[in-house]
Amino acid sequence: MNNEKFITFIEFTGFIALKKSGNSKSSIYSLNAFCCLLYALCFLLFAMPSEAKVTGACSDCHTMHNSQRGQAMARDYSSTDAGLVEDASPNPALLISSCIGCHFNSGTTTITANNTPVVLNAHDPGSSALAGGNFYYSSAGPGGAYDKGHNVKNISPQESSPMDAPPGFKAGVELPNGGTGPASWASQLTCAGTYGCHGNRGIADEVKSIFGAHHQNVDIDSSSDADKVYNSYRFLYGIKGAEDIDWEKTVSGIDHNGYQGDSLYGSMNTISYLCSECHGNYHANTNLGGSGSVGDGTPWLRHPADFAFNGVRGNNYAGSEYASYTTYNVIAPVAESSPTTSDSVVNSGSIVMCLSCHRAHASPYFKMLRWDYKAGSLGTALSGCMVCHTSKN
């Protein structure tokens, strides 16, 4: 029974009860209380995890006036203090905090009590880090390093030239759902907006670019249209995928994010296309670097992304070094043309992507890799590579 039918049922039940009870004031008051209880029950029943909209008190995220008993309510993240500090200035949309402040935790917890995923911890989250990794490793605080992750504004300082712009940056790339990327890189990386990853990149302001998405959000699978921010994978506008319900807090070969890919780098709705909106010269889509920058076969100029195993080595997948990668491995995950959160089989149609090697936010390792590529042991350094390149082990 959907919400509308349930409410109709409540109203009908109330009508029958009123007919039977007569029109006395006490009966009507009792009936009003009964209906209020049923409406509350309806709200609780349909605010279940199957719809991942923000739940809880409005005051968890918003404040009407940014003041309570003369004290500011806003708390924003300070990289200097490596934590939340009082902010006397009100935030847009009546928010108590910024993107960073809401998704920050002062300990090592990575999913808070109100089911908010944490992307920045004040202390090393270790194995508790979620799928995207953790900005702890690239923050201005202890443990942070430039080469371990994206350097996001208000988390870490801007890098000096030439690393102040994304490597492989291509001006004016075509964005999913219309519009183009910036003509030049004129800002430090942000969480959302034109110079960020989340929200509508056609809108410069971070809050405006993602406005309303948290309230409308639903659990996303690959059937989603991805034509709005709220129904796009992880609020990455125009990108498809299947969202693991706990952001890979628990993760295995049958419990993970489902990443959207394209077998021959032609689509704009893939996770690799999202990365390449900033790192354009690393993707062979014609809107981006094109095959002239990346290549389209052996020998590759740059590592392929959005390219299926069945296209390698002259389409000789069965005799290739990749054919022995048959079971999904979270060390080097693959994308699919129709991903789910429980894909366990890797085959010729599985697709190499940017996140096969990297975390989206930051990792404990060089170049935000999923494994320690700079380890003293060659076996450890190449452990992630060998998941795909099995014959070179």
Whether residue 187 is predicted with pLDDT greater than 50 in this model: the reply is: yes
Average pLDDT, the chain: 87
pLDDT confidence bin for 53, thresholds 50/70/90: low
Assign 353 to helix, strand or coil. coil
d(C-alpha 333, C-alpha 317), whole Å = 18
Return the domain boundaries, the chain: 59-163
* Maximum average pLDDT range among 78-92, 116-130, 138-152, 300-314: 116-130
Question: Tokens at residue 192, please?
Answer: 């959302």
b/e sequence 163-179, b meaning 16+ C-beta within 10 Å: eeebebbbeebbbbbee
At 216, which amino acid appears?
Q
Whether residue 208 is predicted with pLDDT greater than 60 in this model: the reply is: yes
The CB density around residue 226, as the number of other CB atoms within 10 Å, is: 22
- Residue found by looking up tokens 């998704």 in the block: 103
pLDDT confidence bin for 52, thresholds 50/70/90: low
258 DSSP β-pair partners: 242
Residue 34: the pLDDT is 47
DSSP string, 33-47: HHHHHHHHHHHHHHS
Mention every residue, 6+ apart, whose C-beta is less than 8 A from residue 172: 180, 181, 182, 183
Residue 26: the pLDDT is 53
Residue 228: the pLDDT is 96
d(C-alpha 112, C-alpha 17), whole Å = 43
| Range in 53-57, 100-104, 229-233, 271-275 the model is least confident about | 53-57
Inter-CA distances, 332 with 13, 69, 135, 339, 386, Å:
55, 52, 20, 15, 9
Mention every residue, 6+ apart, whose C-beta is less than 8 A from residue 129: 110, 363
| Range in 64-68, 94-98, 122-126 the model is least confident about | 64-68
Provide the whole-model pTM: 0.85
Mention every residue, 6+ apart, whose C-beta is less than 8 A from residue 383: 331, 371, 372
Assign 124 to helix, strand or coil. coil
Q: Are 105 and 134 in contact (CB under 8 A)?
A: no
d(C-alpha 320, C-alpha 106), whole Å = 47
